[in-house]
Amino acid sequence: MFDVFSIGFSQIFSVKVLLLILMGVVLGIIFGATPGISTSMGIALMLPLTFKMPLIPSIATILGLYVGGTSGGLITAILLNIPGTSSAIATCWDGHPMARRGDAGRALGIGILYSFFGGVISLVALFFMAPMLAKVALKFSSIEYFAISVFSLTLIASVSGKSLPKGITSATLGVIATTFGIAPVDSTYRYTFGFHQLDAGFQLLPVLIGVYAVAEILKVAEKNTPLPTLNAYKMHGFGVSPKEFGEQFGNMWRSALIGVGVGILPGIGGGISNIIAYTAAKNQSKHPEEYGTGCVGGIVASETANNAVTGGALIPLLTLGIPGAPATAFLLAALTVQGVIPGPLLFTTHINLVYAILAALLIANLLMVVVEYFGMKGFLQILKVPKHYLFPIVLVMCMVGAFSTNNRIFDVWSILVFALVGYALSKFGFPATPFVLGFILGGLFELNLRRSLIITDGSYWGFFTRPIAAVILLISVAFLAVLLYQRSKGEDVLTDDGI
């Protein structure tokens, strides 16, 4: 393990890369802490600026944004009872009551500390689990990849909305959006309508920026809700005594494992993990009645779990090329633009990149603690910037960034189209995350389906003759059956729009 990190640090331990990680962490915290500007939106905004960088600096910047943005949501969750991101929903439940009784500084310290622990534990999981999964994935054929894409689409369509039909519809629309342009395998032109700009289909970056960033601007601008008054606070250390640390040790590990596990499942994200971990902590507590009144365990569970997603979500991305959380879809875009295709071969052809990612994640988590703790007052001042000044700048940067990637005005128009799609999905109650991940997974789904049918001579039964693919497909069917049963009983299913 020491050798791995020594190789990784040798690639990122330069003034330039460290400053880029620091910049990413600072901006990520700002994006995460500002209601209306999510982590995904922030990464979408900054992503085009990384395309002209060398590979390691560009990926390190995105990782800094990811780590900082995931943790930044705790600031407004505790001080304003407004989660800056969906990952901090459960942090509100005990963080804000603690702030109201005058312990805002202590709540912030606890949140920052356990954000770090969650991130580091997920990093260890990434270190040990990703290489093992990559070795298994090397034996996969297109049939296994098709089965995984089916399972992934089943997950994101099922848990990303309060309405199961709406989640499935949103994912289906995302898949349909991938069918424009040249078809895989036989290279047939589809749905181009004689418009040659559509020959290559819609690009990932304009879709991500449109659905996440610009659509979010439209939604926030429509509401125009002013922020409430900030709670006063004073920070003295991280607010946890050695005795409390020992009492919360089991809660921390349980929540971290929940975060890693949820992160591995494609498309679910931190918005689910923090709620599951909070519920588990409350159920296992000797004093569950204290939860919701300003309990330390609630903050520990929520912040450990949502930050543990960061490493967990990278496991399927690096080993299978499937993003485990909405924000990692942008890392997929960054790698693809740099000519790196995530998947099992990444661990043989670009192993030094994997080591650099591990080292960059560790540095980003360390910087996150320092920056959040000592820069809290500065972040709170940024929250006071009026949105009617902020959002026009963000909108222009989105357009310029998309145009500069391929120097095509078509990409700018694509952003506007998918911004309207994202806005319409929101207005009619359809979750956006299934659409985006459906778009990402749709190409993988179709390509491997068509390749698999060639292997099996057009027989769908042939998919069940390979044990791994058969098991994955059966799990997908079983998962849908369980969800349908829960819906028929009127049981609520946790949701995460990923915004």
pLDDT value of position 16: 92
Residue 26 pLDDT: 93
pLDDT of 477 higher than 80: yes
* Residues 312/261, Cβ–Cβ less than 8 Å: yes
- CA angle at residue 375 from 372 to 381, to 5 degrees? 115
Residue whose C-alpha is closest to residue 441's, from 322, 340, 344: 322
Give the mean pLDDT of the chain: 82
Sorting pLDDT into bands at 50, 70 and 90, what band is 497? very low
Give the pLDDT of residue 236: 73
Given this model, what pLDDT does residue 167 score? 80
Range with the poorest average pLDDT among 194-198, 228-232, 435-439: 228-232
| Tokens linked to 456 | 């099996």
| DSSP-H helix ranges across 160-269 | 164-177, 204-208, 215-223, 242-247, 249-264
- Output the six-digit token pair for 240: 């946890």
* 117, 120, 121, 124 alpha-carbon torsion, rounded to 10°: -170
Q: Which pLDDT score is estimated for 499?
A: 39
Range in 128-137, 147-156, 222-231, 378-387 the model is least confident about: 222-231
Report the 10 Å Cβ neighbour count for 464. Answer: 16
Average pLDDT over residues 181-190: 82
Helix axes 249-264, 296-320, angle to 10 degrees: 30
Residue whose entry in the numeric block shows the structure tokens 């921390």: 252
Q: Which residue has the higher pLDDT, 271 or 45?
A: 45
pLDDT at 120: 94
Does the structure show a pLDDT above 60 at 148?
A: yes
Q: What is the pLDDT of residue 274?
A: 85
pTM value > 0.85: no
Alpha carbons 113 and 97: distance in angstroms, whole number: 19
C-alpha 481, offset from chain centre: 26
pLDDT in tens, 67-86: 998 888 888 888 877 776 77
Dist CA 169 CA 124 (whole Å) = 37
239 SS3 class = coil
In this predicted structure, the answer to whether residue 15 has a pLDDT above a threshold of 80 is: yes
Is residue 232's pLDDT more than 70?
no
How is residue 300 written in tokens? 């520990």
Q: Are 247 and 294 in contact, with CB atoms under 8 Å apart?
A: no
112 confidence band (pLDDT: 50, 70, 90): very high
Is the pLDDT reported for residue 282 higher than 70? yes
369-408 per-position pLDDT tens digit: 999 988 877 776 766 667 677 778 777 777 776 676 667 7
Point out which residues pair with 182 in neighbouring strands: 189
Structure confidence at residue 161 (pLDDT)? 56
Torsion of CA 27, 31, 34, 38, to 10 degrees: 180
Query: Across residues 122-136, what is the average pLDDT?
Result: 88
CB atoms within 10 A of CB 331: 25
What pLDDT sits at residue 255? 94
> Running DSSP on this structure, what letter comes out for residue 180?
S
Residue 281: name the closest of 309, 258, 308 by CA: 258
d(CA 458, CA 452): 8
pLDDT of residue 487: 66
Question: How far apart, in Å, are the Cα atoms of 217 and each of 41, 45, 134, 390, 393?
Answer: 9, 12, 38, 10, 11
Please give the Cα distance from 225 to 36 (Å, whole number): 10
pLDDT of residue 226: 59
Is pLDDT above 90 for 230? no
Say which range, 164-168, 277-281, 297-301, has the weakest mean pLDDT. 164-168
Residue 249 has pLDDT above 90, yes or no: yes
Angle at CA of residue 411, ends 406 and 415, nearest 5° = 140
User: pLDDT tens digit string along 417-466?
Assistant: 998 998 998 888 888 778 877 887 888 888 888 888 888 888 888 888 88
Alpha-carbon torsion, ordered 192, 195, 199, 204, to 10 deg? -90
Contacts of 107 (CB under 8 A, 6+ apart): 78, 94, 95, 98, 99, 239, 294, 299
* pLDDT for residue 2: 60
pLDDT of residue 198 exceeding 50, the answer is yes
The pLDDT of residue 409 is above 50 = yes
What digits encode the pLDDT tens for the residues 294-339? Answer: 889 999 999 999 999 999 889 988 988 888 777 788 888 888 888 8
